[in-house]
Chains A and B, each alone.
Chain A
Amino acid sequence: MASEPADVLIIGAGATGGVVARRLAEAGFRVVCLEQGDWHDKGEYRGAELDWELTMRKQWATSPNIRGLPEDYPIDESDAEVSPLMFPAVGGSMLIFAGAWPRMLPSDFRVRSLDGIADDWPLSYEELRPYYERTDREFGISGMGGDPAYPAGGEDPPLPPLPLGAGGLKVARAHTRLGWHWWPEPNSILSVPYDGRRPCVQRGTCQQGCAEGAKASTDLTHWPKAIDLGARLVTGARVRRIETNADGLATGAMWIDREGAEHFEPARVVVLAANAIGTARLLLLSSGPGHPDGLANSSGLVGRRLMMHPFANVGGLFDEDLESWQGQFGCSIESFEFYETDERRGFVRGAKWGLAPTFGPINAALPSRAGTQVWGPDHHLHVKAHLGRGANWGLFGEDLPDEANHVTLSKTLVDSSGIPAPEIHYKVSDNSRRLLDFHIEKASESLMEAGAYAVEVDRLMRYSGWHLLGTARMGDDPATSVLDRWNRTHDVPNLYVVDGSCFVTSAGVNPTSSIVALALRAADHMIETRFEQQVPA
C-alpha cells in the first residue's frame, strides 16, 4: 500500500498505541498505525437507552467470544479459569474499561528483593513517577493527592475527585471506625470539563462506552491530536505477521483488509501495542527460518507468564436505598489496607480493593457478579432487595508470574481472516486463592461494619480478565526476558512492545495507568535515541 516506509509502524490503536503515536507524531516521526477494529461514535453507546442491560450481555459484552464481532478474534480459553476480556477498536479496550486509575506501589517493582519470589522490575516507582504525572494530564485524571498509600511529593491528579456516592460514604465512614485505609479512587473520568471534553454524568454505564466522552479513551484523548500532527491510522487492518530481513531487523507487517486483500506496510521501526494476548499471538505467528519459535523469542518467554489478576467480588446489601445503580464505574473509593505482604496471613503480596456501583434491575434478577437467581413470588423481594441497595468491593489480587500460564497458537481455531487464534492456558495459583480468601473475609468485615445486613461473594469471577499482562516481560538479561528496560526486544533492535505484555509482575492494582506510563517512557526513549536506532537498509 505505502511505498515509503513509515518511521514507526504501530500495531494496535488502543491505550498504548494512542499514547505512543501522539508522542512520536509530536516529535516529528512519520507514524502509521494498523488497527483491526474501527472508530466508534458516542451515539452507538447504549448507556442511556432502554436496551442497555440487554446489549451489555452481547454486543457490548467484554468477552470477544461472547460478542463475536467480525473484527474480534476468538480465543480458545477451554484450559483457562479466567476469561480474557478486550475490545478491538480505535481506543481499544479503554472503550469498555472501568476507568479506575491507581498507580502501582513502590514495592511492586521489587517483589523478588522484598518477598523472595517472582522478579524485580528493571526500573523503580520513582523512575516511572514523572510519566504517571504526564499521562495523568494527557488523559484527565480525577482524584485527590496525598494518599498515604504512596510516597509523598509529585503532582496531584489534575482534576478534583468524583463523588463517593451514598455507598462509598458509608464504607469510608466504616473504614474510619475500623482504622483502615481508604481514599477517593483516581479515575480516568472527568469530574469537570477538560481538554474539550464534558464531565461525568454518573450514569454508571462506563463499561459499555461513555456517551458523554467523560471517560478517557485514546480515540478521544490521543488519536485526534496524533492525526492532526500527520499520523496515519488505518482501520479494519488485521495484521497477520511481522516481517524481518536477513539482518534480523523488522521491515514492516503483512495485513489483511476487510475484503480479505493482503497488504504490506513497510517501516523502519515496528511497535506492538496489541495487548498481552494479541502481541504474543503476533510474535508467535511471525516465526521464520531464523526464529522458528516465534519472533523475539530466543528466551522462550514470548506468550509465557500470562497474568490476569484473579478477581473476587464482595457485595454488601443495605436496608436503605443507596441509588447504587448510579455513579462512576470506575470506583468511588479504594483501600490498600491489606496490600503489602504479611507472611502471617499464609500468602505473599496482596490486593487493592475498589468500590463499584451495582447495575440495574436486570442484573438484580440475573446477577453477573455475586448473587443468585430467585423465581416465584419471592423474585420480587429479591430484586427489590438488590436494586439500588448494594455496594460492591472488587478485589484485584496480585497474580504471580508462572511460565505454565501462557498463550500459544490454536491448531484448530481461526479468526474470520483464517489466522490461527490464540489459545490460553491459565490456572489460579494456591497463593492467589489464599490471598483472595483472606481479602474476601476482610472485605466482608468492611461491608458489615458499614451496615450491610448480608454479604454475597463471587470467589473467582470467570469474566474478569480485564488485565492482560506479562507475555513479553522486560528485564536486563536476554536469557530471561523478551524486552529490555525500554520496551525494545532483545532480539530485534527495531521492534518494541509497549502494551501490558512488558509487565514483570502484575502488582495488585488496575494496570492501565502503569501500562500507558511505561509506553510514554518507551516513546520518549525512541525519540532520545532516534539517531542511534538501527533500521533496515
Chain B
Amino acid sequence: MTALDAAALATLAAVAGRLIPEAHGMPSAGDIVGESRVHFVLGARPDLAEPLARALRPELGDDPAARLATLERDEPEHHAALVQAIVFGYYTDKGVRERLGYPGQVAKELYSWKVPPFIEEGLTDQVLARGPIWRDPATGRRATG
C-alpha cells in the first residue's frame, strides 16, 4: 500500500469536498476522507494505491475542478481511482452511514413457518385463476391444462 503524504491528503480532501460537498444534512467528503479512511480503502483495495497517487500528483495544480476535468479527459483510470477512493472512504464512514440510516448488510432471521403476505392476500390465487400460460410444444398454442 502506498501511503499518501500530507500534500496528497490535502489535495484529496479538496477534490472530495468538490465532488461531495456539505449539503442536505450530510457532511462534506472533504471532512470525512482523511488519512484513516484512505488507509482503510487502500487496505481493502491495494490496486487503487498507485493510480490514486498518480491522480493526486502536484503537477496537476491546485484547482480541484480542473484536476478532475484533466484526469477525466486524459487519464480515465486515474480519474476512476480518485472518484472511487473518495466514494469508498465516504460511505464506509460510520457517521455517514448512520445519517443515511444504512446499517450495512445485516443478518435477518427468516420466518418460513409464517403464511407469507402474498398468500394471505390471495395474489397467487389470482395468477392461478388465469390458467396455464406455457406453450404446448405439441400444438404450438397456449396449454389448457
Contacts and interface: CB of A to CB of B under 8 A. Distances in A.
A191 B112 contact: yes
B92 A54 contact: yes
B58 interface: no
A325 interface: yes
B83 to A, nearest CB: 7
Interface in B28-73: 40-41, 44-45, 47
Interface in A192-208: 192, 199-205
Nearest to B26: A380
Interface of A: 47-48, 50-55, 57-58, 105-107, 109-110, 113-114, 124-125, 144, 146, 148-152, 159-164, 169, 172-173, 175-176, 179, 181-184, 191-192, 199-205, 212, 321, 325-326, 336-337, 339-341, 360-362, 365-366, 373, 375-381, 383-384, 387-388
Contact of B45 (A58, A199, A321): A58
Nearest to A148: B132
Interface of B: 18-21, 23-26, 40-41, 44-45, 47, 83-84, 87-88, 91-92, 96-97, 100-102, 104-110, 112, 116-118, 121, 123-124, 126-128, 130-137, 140, 142-143, 145
B134 A151 contact: yes
B15 to A, nearest CB: 10
B124 A183 contact: yes
A380 B100 CA distance: 9
Contact of B140 (A114, A378, A381): A114
Q: Looking at A55, A124, A201, which has the most chain B CB atoms within 10 Å of its CB?
A: A201
A201 B117 contact: no
Given A58-B47, A376-B21, 16 more contacts: A57-B84, A106-B136, A114-B137, A152-B145, A162-B110, A163-B116, A164-B116, A173-B123, A203-B106, A340-B133, A340-B134, A361-B97, A375-B20, A377-B21, A380-B24, A380-B26
Contacts of A182: 123, 127
B102 A360 contact: yes
A535 B26 CA distance: 70
A172 B93 CA distance: 36
B138 to A, nearest CB: 9
Nearest to B20: A379
A55 B133 CA distance: 42
A375 B21 CA distance: 9
Contacts of B116: 161, 163-164
Q: Looking at B18, B26, B44, B110, which has the most chain A CB atoms within 10 Å of its CB?
A: B110
Main secondary structure of the interface of A (DSSP, over half): loop
Given A58-B45, A184-B118, A152 B132 contact: yes
Contact of B143 (A124, A151, A361): A151
Contacts of B145: 152
27 contacts: A54-B41, A106-B137, A124-B137, A125-B137, A146-B128, A148-B130, A151-B143, A161-B116, A176-B127, A181-B127, A181-B130, A182-B127, A191-B112, A200-B110, A201-B108, A203-B107, A325-B105, A326-B105, A326-B106, A336-B133, A341-B135, A361-B91, A377-B23, A380-B26, A387-B100, A387-B102, A388-B101
Contacts, number: 172
B44 A51 contact: yes
Contact of B24 (A50, A164, A337, A381): A381
A308 to B, nearest CB: 24
B127 A107 contact: no
B22 to A, nearest CB: 8
B112 to A, nearest CB: 5
Contacts of A212: 107
B134 A201 contact: no
A144 B128 CA distance: 12
Contact of B118 (A148, A169, A326): A169
A361 B88 contact: no
Contact of A53 (B40, B91, B117, B124): B91
Nearest to B128: A148
Contacts of B106: 203, 326
A376 B108 CA distance: 35
B108 to A, nearest CB: 5
Contacts of A183: 124, 127
- Listed from nearest, the 9 A-B pairs whose CB atoms lie closest are A377-B23, A201-B107, A51-B44, A110-B137, A380-B24, A107-B135, A361-B91, A380-B26, A340-B135
B8 to A, nearest CB: 20
A381 B106 CA distance: 24
Contacts of A53: 88, 91
A355 B18 CA distance: 36
A362 B93 CA distance: 11
A98 B77 CA distance: 29
Contacts of B140: 113-114
Nearest to A366: B87
